[in-house]
Structure 1
Amino acid sequence: MEMNNTCFNANPQLDKYFLPTMYGIEFIVGLIGNLTVIWGYIFCLKDWKCSNIYLFNLSISDLTFICTLPMLVAHYGTDNGWTFGQVMCILNRYILHTNMYTSVLFLSCISFDRYLLVVRPLNPHVFQKKLNAIAICLGIWIFVTLELVPIFGFISNRDTNETDTTDCLDYASSGDPSRNLAYSMFLTIFGFVLPLCVMLFFCIQTARSLKKIQRQFTKIQVEKPLTLVILAIVLFFIFFTPYHVMRNIRIASRMRKSRLSECNKLVIKAVYAVTRPIAFLNSIINPIFYFMLGDKFRELFFTKLQSIFSRKAAMQECQQRSINKSGVQMSSAG
């Protein structure tokens, strides 16, 4: 079908410049942030609470996804197409969606845990036991893995006749759009909307409880935890909502019964492309937002770093003294 001459197609520019740039930035920042957090948890934090278990699993999920980004940078940033094979194409998209929906569920667990910490600080809930937190995390990994099994039938590794190269299509551009839309709506409802409602409910309840505490005990400062609670739900909504909305619109635009013009389809595809890296910004914000803003973690982290550098400086000083002592002894002997 011929396109109107006035219709501008921004998708080639987005694929070649915007996507690899965004994914490259997310890889660098996300790799540093998540590795720092994982190192900090392993070597700095001795007394783990259930919230730490959820956050550690969240960071593992983010790091796994971050490690797949160089393939996307190479794919979109060059004209060679997808050079990593069909298995890696499917695995890459699978890990991408696994990270998204495990992150959503881990964040929901964290919001519930923080609600319990505010409402019942002296009476731990069964949800806050370490073994139960481990079991919940394991259940989340299994549930999301099973939930995403059907995606293997939709992700395709297509040969493009125009350039004789292989292109690893994104999820919304793959498979039969009629069946794909039904599955995408399922993921949207059970993977995003319901966890969003859970987060929203407990964030509101936590905010109300903090306000109530502030009214009863005027000397207690609740501005910071209240700000973090509000910021958590705002960031969650901003990152994930545009992607899920545009993903379903993109799939619907590909259906045969769609009466959209080719120009409108290109616009939808372009907007959907913009929302994809925005959704994955969550993986680089998590270590900053959920870890570095924690006073206890930050204190333990920098204390550990300081001890390492102090030990290293002491060893270097000791070695230097040994060298100087050896030099004096040799001079005396001479």
Structure 2
Amino acid sequence: MNNTTCVSHDFTGRFLPPVYILVLIIGLVANGWGLKSLLHNWKKLGNVNVFVLNLGLTDVWYLLTLPFLVVYYFMDRKWIFGDVFCKITRFCFNLNLYGSIGFLTCISVYRYLAIVHPMRVMGRITNTHSVAISAMVWLLVSVQSLPDMFYTKKNSHAECIETTNENVEEYLKYNLGWTLIGFCIPFLITLGCYGHVIVVLCRTNTIDKELKQKSLRLLFILILLFSVCYIPYNVLKNLNLWSRVLSRKGVCHKWSNGVYIARQISRGLVCLNSALNPLVYLNGNEDIPAQLRRLLQRSSF
């Protein structure tokens, strides 16, 4: 028995394909432009450039899988690309999600050190350190995501399930630990860093005005990403899994369908991070807004 009797799956097929197509178009254009500008202005960003580059790579990695998911939903949730590629597609999504959170956390820590402890870190943190830390982020995210690939992803209806169709109770326990390590801890680190940064910025008048503006803009971008993309997805994923565990025990709550629909909306919102992450490029590079204004001026003629 599964949770089919508790929820209606029609909403997913109508909602996700248009979102995926929109994210694919905007994400490829924004990340392509952002990565090109990043490489052109590599030294201007300082030591965070390595993290910004990796952030862009996680986005491109995931965006390339979206056409297959669009085909999947257009074919009424029938996966025709094989079981192995189904797992690879889901793995790429997890790399993008938790990799983005990891690299955004690294950027936050570097900003914190540059503003709160500038004399201690000046000249001591190099690109070599950033590369080593980036490699650790990739390794940790891969280790966290790898167990997910050992769960059954396809069912008798040839669907490619994001979580699993079997051992849902065991998967819920795994996902709770995954959420704690991959989301909660980085979120608290980011919150702590920027909470301290805001206090320092409000109390100190000697900090460079441009640096202060960049830090406040990055804080706004992080609030946007976490509140729109990451928090709803992680909360609702666990709630939906809990609902499925209950339904397998014959318990069908009135809120199950509402949680399921909210969960599908959060899936659409979380993939928006691949289109919103390039805002980090905008924040770090003063040339991009000028280029955008020139582009808009040309298009108006």
TM-score interval (norm. to shorter): 0.7 to 0.9
* 2:102 paired residue number: 105
Match of 1:232 in 2: 222
Which amino acid letter does the alignment assign opposite residue 86 of structure 1? D
Q: 1:21 to 1:267 in 2, by over 3 A?
A: same
1:32 and 2:32 correspond: no
* Structure 1: distance between partners of 2:93 and 2:131: 23
Task: Sort the Cα spacing of 1:79 and 1:297 in 2 relative to 1 into closer, same or farther, 3 A.
Answer: same
**Corresponding residue for 1:189?**
180
Does residue 76 (structure 1) correspond to residue 66 (structure 2)? The answer is no
Given that 2:6 and 2:256 are in contact with CA atoms closer than 8 Å, whether structure 1 keeps it comes out as no
Q: 1:288-332 CA distances to partner (integer Å, 9 max, x unpaired)? A: x21123343527x949x99xxxxxxxxxxxxxxxxxxxxxxxxxx
Pairing 1:247–2:237 present: yes
- The RMSD of aligned alpha carbons is 2.8
3-state secondary structure, aligned to 2:155 = strand
For 1:159, the equivalent position in structure 2 comes to 156
Displacement, 1:38?
Answer: 1.6
- Seen in structure 2, the aligned counterparts of structure 1 residues 126 and 112 have a Cα distance that, compared at 3 Å, is farther
Aligned partners of 2:214 and 2:284 also within 8 Å: no
Tell me how far apart the structure 1 counterparts of residues 189 and 255 of structure 2 sit (CA, whole Å). 35
Q: CA offsets per residue over residues 180-218 of structure 1, 9 Å max, x none?
A: 01100011100000000000000111111111223x67x
Q: Contact 2:47 / 2:127 at 8 angstroms: preserved in 1?
A: yes
Which of 242, 251, 259 is the matching residue for 2:251? 259
How much does 1:48 deviate? 6.0
Change beyond 3 A, Cα 1:267–1:101: same
User: Where in structure 1 are there 5+ consecutive unaligned residues?
Assistant: 161-165, 307-334
Match of 1:11 in 2: 9
**In structure 1, C-alpha distance between the alignment counterparts of 2:165 and 2:113, rounded to whole Å:** 42
Amino acid at match of 1:182: K
Give SS of 2:42's match: coil
Bigger mean CA deviation after superposition, 126-135 or 192-201: 126-135
Identity, in percent, stands at: 26
Contact 1:239–1:282 (8 Å) recurs in 2: yes
Give the TM-score, by structure 2 length.
Answer: 0.86
**For the structure 1 residues 80 and 62, does the alpha-carbon distance in structure 2 shift closer, same or farther, using more than 3 Å as the test?**
closer
Report 1:46-61 matches (<5 A).
46=43, 49-61=46-58
Q: Does 1:291 align with 2:288?
A: no
1:116 to 2:116 alignment: no
What is the CA distance between 1:168 and its match in structure 2? Answer: 0.6
Alignment CA distance shift 1:51-1:152 (3 Å): same
Mapped contact 2:7–2:256 kept (Cα < 8 A) = no
- State how far apart, in whole Å, the 2-side matches of 1:279 and 1:175 are: 24
Deviation at 1:246, TM superposition (A): 1.1
Deviation at 1:234, TM superposition (A): 4.3
Structure 2 match to 1:91: 88
Q: Per-residue deviation at 1:158?
A: 1.6
Label 1:115 to 1:269 Cα distance change in 2 as closer, same or farther (>3 A). same
Cα distance in structure 2, aligned partners of 1:8 and 1:120: 53
TM superposition shift of 1:260: 2.5
Q: Does 1:212 align with 2:203?
A: yes
8 Å contact kept, 2:111–2:215: no
Specify the SS of the correspondent of 2:239: helix
> In the comparison of the two structures, how many residue pairs are matched?
289
> Based on CA coordinates, which of the two structures has the bigger radius of gyration?
1
Q: In the superposition, relative to structure 1, how do residues 127 and 100 fare at CA in structure 2: closer, same or farther (>3 Å)? A: farther
Higher relative contact order (Cα pairs below 8 Å, separated by 6+ residues): 2
Structure 1 contact 89–168 (Cα < 8 Å) conserved: yes
**Structure 2: runs of 5+ lacking an equivalent:** 296-301
